[in-house]
Structure 1
Amino acid sequence: MNDGPVVLPEPDAGETGPYTHLGFATARPGSEDKVEELILALVAPLRAEEGAIEFHVHRDRADRRQFVIYEMFRSKTALEKHIAQPYTQEFIRAIRPHVEGPLRQQFLRMCSALPGTE
């Protein structure tokens, strides 16, 4: 979700767990509510995607301009399909004028077992 194409790191050899993404955004002063509105609009369609496991939106308690998106997918392929969705591409375009700097990303490998899979 930065200004260029998203390049997802490959899963580790033998990895069977979910593919997790964290997105970070800093709202421009005065755009905090708009950023929250745009991110929250992703909740229903993303959670309806076949490969989605979890999607949560967080706002920093100390700095209300800071947002964190937590999303977990069944696989890298599922996340790639999500990124290609028209509504995801529209979100990236729509949020751009309301945030400072690039939308930062972090991709995580789950080390603990996913509940229900132990």
Structure 2
Amino acid sequence: MKKTLLAEFTAREGAQDEVARLIGDYALKVREEEGNIAFDVYTREADPRAFWIFEVYRDEDAFQAHLNAPYGGPFNDVLVPLIEEDASVLTFLNPLSAEL
């Protein structure tokens, strides 16, 4: 079963451009992962400091491989001081039904 989630965080005032650059570089790496299906980065129209990342992985093993990728820890170490939250807020999603 695919692993699907939404990661959310808000850039601190004045850090939006740096966060956008960081997440853009990170997205290029994640999209190359064998088990990654989607890694789409958005900002909220009403608040461009609010970032939403829609992620889909082939299965739980692919998601675990993503979590253990060598560039993930360093990315988060640089990101956390630039965002309002203590870390990305993750919401795991399940499809409503196969027919939809």
Partner of 1:26: 10
For residues 49-108 of structure 1, the C-alpha deviation after alignment (integer angstroms, 9 at most, x for no partner) is 111111100001111110001110011111111011111111111101100022211011
Identical pairs, percent: 36
1:40 alignment partner in structure 2? 24
Inter-partner Cα distance in structure 2 for 1:19 and 1:27: 26
The answer to whether the Cα contact below 8 Å between 1:19 and 1:110 also exists between their aligned partners in 2 is no
* Distance across 2 between alignment mates of 1:112 and 1:39: 31
Q: Structure 1-normalised TM-score?
A: 0.77
**Unpaired stretches in structure 1, ≥5 consecutive residues:** 1-15, 114-118
Q: Which residue of 2 aligns with 1:50?
A: 34
Scaled by the length of structure 2, the TM-score of the pair is 0.90
Unaligned regions of 5+ residues in structure 2, if any? none
> Matched residue pairs, number?
98
Which residue matches 1:64? 48
Pick the aligned partner of 1:108 from 68, 93, 98.
93
Q: Tell me the alpha carbon deviations over residues 24-69 of structure 1, each in whole angstroms, 9 at most, x when there is no partner.
A: 0111000001111111112221111111111100001111110001
Partners of 1:28 and 1:50 in 2: how far apart? 32
Structure 2 residue corresponding to 1:94, chosen from 78, 82, 86: 78
Q: Could you tell me which amino acid in structure 1 is paired with residue 28 of structure 2?
A: A
